[in-house]
Structure 1
């Protein structure tokens, strides 16, 4: 006679333990991402986002580490909004940076993600538009790119980025 093995019955206790483990893992990996704070991207640029208000609006400062201009880099203001501030654990957001040292503006859109260890990453895509002198130069006036920002740990609260701003008071060298 052939015997067919039937699966062992699952007890409620086993389901309860499995469900508890799954819920604990989901809870651990889906903690809320917080946009507020100091961030650094892979190029070394720094961004500070001040508190996000209940409407999802925020402001801050951006200090780029790279530029196509020869002007002295300065902290530049940013303004943005986060979508669904209370409902989402990985919020979608967008912000604009009006560069203080050049005639250009960059818009960023992105999403905040948190890994199982609690490390936050802002995945962004950006468009930079610079002023050009004529319609004929319009073709090269917009650039597109991506940046990943990670939280820069710090003990300070408030406007931290102001202390990182480079000094632009150095006079230009005299031409021969």
Structure 2
């Protein structure tokens, strides 16, 4: 039996006489990912409820301290078509800030997994009048490493 499988979503297993058996696989967030800015994250095992944890290794920061790996914790919506939605929080260990990411898993043109995400970064400010500048927003695309 030959395989024409994408890492998740619908795949094709070549059976005898050239027939193709369609199978459906779940999006699996477990493992190493890298985004378009060079930041990396490692997601540990996703449990049966869709909960996961891991570490985030940012490549960019405006903090005055050295960058450190920071814990992440999140949840994945487990569905049948493989294109799951997810969200996670990163508690930055080197700055007074927290980030939340939300997104969806897609199959890229070559069948590779792509995580499209939008994030909010909240930095601590000294006073209520400074609140207006405390939150940033952005978008990142993650692809699987290795």
TM-score by length of 1: 0.68
- Whose helix fraction is larger, Structure 1's or Structure 2's? 1
SS state of the match for residue 126, structure 1? strand
Unpaired stretches in structure 1, ≥5 consecutive residues:
1-23, 154-176
- Answering whether residue 123 of structure 2 is matched by residue 130 of structure 1, we say yes
Distance 1:122 1:78 in 2: 16
- Whose strand fraction is larger, Structure 1's or Structure 2's? 2
Unpaired stretches in structure 2, ≥5 consecutive residues:
1-19
2:84 to 86, 91, 110: 91
- Answering whether residue 52 of structure 2 is matched by residue 52 of structure 1, we say no
Asked if the contact 2:37/2:60 (under 8 Å) is kept, the reply is yes
How many residue pairs get aligned? The number is: 128
Distance 1:74 1:87 in 2: 36
Distance 2:140 2:87 in 1: 13
What is the deviation of 1:32?
Answer: 2.8
Following TM superposition, the consecutive aligned residue runs of length 4 or more in structure 1 with deviations greater than 3 angstroms are: none
2:99 paired residue number: 106
